[in-house]
Amino acid sequence: MTTPVLLTPVEARVLATLMEKARTVPDSYPLTLNSLLLGCNQKTSREPLMELSEAEVSNAVDTLREAGLVHETSGGRATKFTHNAQRGIGVPEQSAVLLGLLMLRGPQTAAELRLNAERWYRFADTSSVEAFLDELQERSEDKGGPLVIKLDRAPGAREQRWAHLLCGPVDASAAVASRMAAPANADLQARVTQLETELAELRTTVQRLCAELGMSPPGQVE
């Protein structure tokens, strides 16, 4: 029987951030501890928002490494980290994507997950998202048990939302309260997220060009 994966909220944020950056900014991946810290604490595409310290992220990385969910890579001047979520949790790629999004953004409907997954993985339609969610919810005990749960429909909502169970049972009332307090301007959040991604890609390009020219990146003392 597979031992169920049980994470703290900080460990879930660290793992999901590595999963996100591996797909959205592959040129900047693996991540240094500082880059991982910034990703965990970013103000967009995160629910809830966190203000983690370097020590908290470092401790979470150590625990995730012991669980086989994060690997340390050598080479270069700084230690970097990669995730091993798909194999470590024992799910297919599509399911890992959905779990990563749920860990980062909190409970979401199948339609929201499909939209938010655009830069991670392109699902054919909402029905395919629901199919993978159903599999995760019906996961047998010998494989570690269910990894997601379908929440009751919130007041005024058209669709039910899904939540992950990697941090244990979900407080449905707290999930509803969190949803009510979430920012309403999704378009603005999406634009900010896109700008952050483009900035990260630009930084990577500048660093590569500086390396080719034998120059120090801007802001770095030679």
User: Which pair of structure tokens corresponds to residue 43?
Assistant: 């103000």
The pLDDT value given to residue 216? 73
96, 184, 201 from 93: Cα distances, Å: 5, 30, 24
3-class DSSP state of 156: coil
Asked if residues 133 and 98 have their Cβ atoms less than 8 Å apart, the reply is: yes
The pLDDT value given to residue 79? 93
Q: pTM here?
A: 0.79
DSSP state of 98: H
CA atoms of 204 and 26, how far apart (whole Å): 10
Pick the CATH number of 9-185 from 1.25.10.10, 1.10.10.10, 3.30.365.10, 1.10.4080.10: 1.10.10.10
DSSP state of 108: B
Provide the residue type at 161 as one letter.
R
The pLDDT value given to residue 42? 96
The pLDDT value given to residue 32? 96
The pLDDT value given to residue 176? 56
In the chain, where the domains are located:
9-185
3-class DSSP state of 20: helix
Asked if residues 50 and 41 have their Cβ atoms less than 8 Å apart, the reply is: yes
Q: How confident is the prediction along the chain (222 residues), in pLDDT tens digits per residue? A: 667 889 999 999 999 999 999 999 999 999 999 999 999 999 999 999 999 999 999 999 999 999 999 999 976 788 999 999 999 999 999 999 999 999 999 999 999 999 999 999 999 999 999 999 999 999 999 999 999 999 998 888 889 999 999 999 997 665 555 555 454 455 565 566 667 777 777 777 787 777 777 777 776 544
